[in-house]
Structure 1
Amino acid sequence: METYDAVVVGGGPAGATAAQTLARAGASVLLIDKPGRIKPCGGAVPPKLIREYRIPDAQIVARTQGARILAPSGKEVDMPIGQGYVGMVDREHFDEFLRQRAADAGAVRRDGAFDRFERDEDGTAVIVFAPAEAPDDEVRVRARVVIGADGARSRLARQTVKGAHKVKSVFAYHEIVRAPEAGSGSHYDPRRCDVYYDGRISPDFYGWVFPHGAVASVGTGSQVKGFSLRGAVKALRQSAGLDGCEIVRREGAPLPYKPAPRWDNGRDVVLCGDAAGAVAPSSGEGIFYAMTSGEMAGDGALAFLATGDARALAGVRKRFMKDHGKVFWILGIMQHFWYRSDKRRERFVSICADEDVQRLTWQGYMEKELVRRDPGAHARIFFKDLAHLLGMSPR
């Protein structure tokens, strides 16, 4: 068996970033990814990600200048960004770019499907996977440390990390369609993200129409069993005037909405990305948090390789939650309260029309941190929010 310092299972943004972090530091890394899998994703990436992870312009397929929020009644609220833009990426090409960048840094790439986690006679971790070129065969490799980045309901996590099976998920589904030409009569705008808060589109999440250059992502998500995601997307396409557009591909996958309580096995495995539940509640945003958690997992693995102290792996979740836990907590409360009925969604959309809400929302999203420099605006939002909660504010 070949032996690596680290084996990374899963080559999405989290796994590819973890592999690059390790390889760039001189560790021997094997990156295993199941080919032909494209995650359903709106594809939005904030300027902070583009800047800090040096994403080239060629990967940005669209630049949006704002969002339009739509309520169950049909009410529309525009949220212009002002300065800057939100980038959009196509996961089919973006993920491959990240995997290749990891390989350029020195990681070894293998296409294959993870099967199981074992241990050698001396206790060293062994990863067993089926190679893509011979799916009936088994390949076994040893690893001093293992990083699980194989998505929501991670198979590796369920075999190695206590409580991993308890992480709840929304099931997301989208259709990539040919974007309509200007003047076609649709509501589509290639410079804008449309977000639908409507129980007919999703009883507990939201629907979206996001531009991707020549194509667009039209999708929704829900954890309600029996809810027809395909039917909802069909209705969403009709509402957006996109029902006549050619469907390029369809994709669906579970999307976690709460960080897992534990990201490591106390010995030699650490999780990141969707496998760790590193997805923002309320918005479902995952690419930034996947890459951030992947980099942290890579750093934690390097510290573990240098010291042999498993606390370096346990520290990955602590570091992530220290940086982003408060935002996740606030977004979780928002999702729990505002997404429960169309009456509340209607009021939520009304709140989005407030200038203070828009300004602080975009500032927080673009740089991924709570904005503390304007206490007056926070106070105004609090009292306006309270008025909506008590039904004292007009819709």
Structure 2
Amino acid sequence: MTSETYDVLVVGGGPSGATAAHDLARTGKRVALLDRAGRIKPCGGAIPPRAIRDFAIPDYLLKAKITCADIISPKGKRVPMPVENGYVGMVDRCEFDEWLRVRATEAGADRITGEATALERDPDGTAAIAFEPKEGPARRLRARMVILANGARSDLARQAIPGQAHPKCVFAYHEIVKVPEDVAARGSYEATRCDVIYNGRTSPDFYAWIFPHGDSASIGTGSARKGFSLRGATAEVREQHGLAGFETIRREGAPIPMKPLRRWDNGRDVVLAGDTSGVVAPASGEGIYYAMLGGRLAAEAVQMALATGDAAALKTARKRFMKDHGKVFWILGIMQTFWYRTDWTREHFVKMCEDKDVQRLTWESYMNKELVRKDPLAHIKIFFKDMAHLLGLARA
């Protein structure tokens, strides 16, 4: 059964899809937001001030405000990186994503619960998404334009753009735990500090983490290595940091893309966004801001295509994203390749984090989502320190 034709159908109700649906509905477009129920992506939940400003995120959704990150080496050395002149907001994806979906519906989007199964074409060429609703028989939704934001390994994306493989992924797993009210029972845990752990035992090619969420916390790890036990590594993190006794609320796992795909549109009526397009930052795994931005750029590209009748406008989503953030992704990818290889390189990487210029430029770039171009002497200094560690000329 096929219902009426929408202007835009957004598949996936995470930060990217919900943002796209919200932005399009506000312009008066007939929008459907199709999302499967009960899916929560494993995520540390960090959002920078740029995201809070650009997407009008209310303060009450911030479960914690992080003012320091401790970078922990394989030998257990802690390097504090205090956040100067600000904080990093932490959200619980269960609550945050639902708020975004509700905001989209309040703007006028039709929210439909179900799991998409296929991208089809009607005889007139119009795109249709077949899906299994939460209740009742299978259905189809027609749309003049489709935004796919339904995860890193979307079969719909491969149907829409044949010949393009899924993005390279790190598989992430975390456990949301309840934080004891008794401060003495919290071990090394602090409510305003993130712990980022570089250790081959808990991640051979990425990192493990402890991220506060107010009365709960995310403890997890990621790896692209087949057969590596993410649950076992997470249990080790909890044991090492005195968190084994914390009550586990829920467990989640999912693939996290590490490189933007080469094509985000089919040249006709489909554009990719969020994890589906591969926009999670290498090295850091940060995805919420980039997902929301990708959703907004996809929405603007679709608006342009609908207004002009020129499907070439869909290419602007990727073009604009890569113009502003492609260099950052490239640098982070190189950093992950070089520094996350062995415990020796990880030890030197953590040592570099002691440098005050490294800390300042890192936080300024993270908070504002752009490379810091001022202070060239600091960049030169960091370059030579980086080379010294890379060549083994500096002590870890």
User: Scaled by the length of structure 1, what TM-score is found?
Assistant: 0.98
Q: Give CA-to-partner distance per residue, 1:265-304, whole Å, 9 cap, x none.
A: 1110000000000100000000000000000000000001
Distance 2:23 2:308 in 1: 17
Contact 2:186 2:243 in 1 (8 A): no
Q: Deviations over 1:135-165 (max 9, x none)?
A: xx21111100000000110121021113443
Unaligned ranges ≥5, structure 2: none
In 2: Cα distance, 1:47 partner to 1:185 partner: 28
In structure 1, the residue matched to 2:151 is: 151
Structure 2 residue identity aligned to 1:99: R
Contact 1:163 1:261 (C-alpha < 8 Å) held by counterparts: no
Matches within 5 A, 1:301-316: 301-316=302-317
Inter-partner Cα distance in structure 1 for 2:302 and 2:369: 24
The aligned counterpart of 1:125 is 127
Using the size of structure 2 for normalisation, the TM-score is 0.98
Find the aligned partners of 2:158 and 2:138 in 1 and give their Cα distance.
20
Over residues 68-116 of structure 1, what are the superposed CA-to-partner deviations in whole Å (9 max), with x where a residue is unaligned?
0001011110000121100000000000000010111110000100010
| Deviation at residue 220 of structure 1 after TM alignment | 0.4
Identify the residue that residue 331 of structure 2 maps to in structure 1: 330
Query: Aligned residue for 2:21?
Result: 19
What CA deviation, in whole Å up to 9, does each residue of 1:153-191 have, x standing for no partner? Answer: 012102111344341111100000011332225110110
> Quick one: distance in 2 between partners of 1:389 and 1:199?
18
Give distance in 2, aligned partners of 1:27 and 1:292: 19
Contact 1:300 1:315 in 2 (8 A): yes
Match of 2:176 in 1: 176
1:303·1:312 contact (CA, 8 Å) conserved in 2?
A: yes
1:115 paired residue among 114, 117, 122? 117
Equivalent residue, structure 2, for 1:63: 65
Q: Residue 385 of structure 1: SS of its match in structure 2? A: helix
Identity of aligned residues (%): 62
Q: Which amino acid aligns with 1:189?
A: E
**Structure 2 match to 1:106:** 108
2: CA distance between counterparts of 1:147 and 1:83?
37
| CA–CA separation in structure 2 for the residues paired with 1:390 and 1:290 | 36
Residue correspondences, number: 393
Q: Which amino acid aligns with 1:72?
A: P
- Structure 1 residue 345, shift from structure 2 partner: 0.3
In the alignment, the residues of structure 2 paired with residue 80 and residue 4 of structure 1 have an alpha-carbon distance, to the nearest angstrom, of: 48
Which secondary structure state, in structure 1, belongs to the residue aligned with residue 174 of structure 2?
strand
Give the unaligned 5+ runs of structure 1: none
CA contact under 8 A between 2:153 and 2:166: conserved in structure 1? no
Partner of 1:72: 74
| Whole-angstrom distance in 2 between the partners of 1:133 and 1:390 | 60
Q: Deviation above 2 Å: which 4+ runs of structure 1?
A: 162-166
How far apart in 2 are the matches of 1:164 and 1:277?
Answer: 12
Matched ranges for 1:141-290 at <5 A: 141-180=141-180, 181-184=182-185, 186-290=187-291
- Structure 2 residue 385 is matched with structure 1 residue 384: yes
Partner of 2:353: 352
Equivalents in 2 of 1:295, 1:36: separation in Å? Answer: 24
The Cα of 1:311 is off from its aligned counterpart by 1.1
Code of the aligned partner of 1:30: A
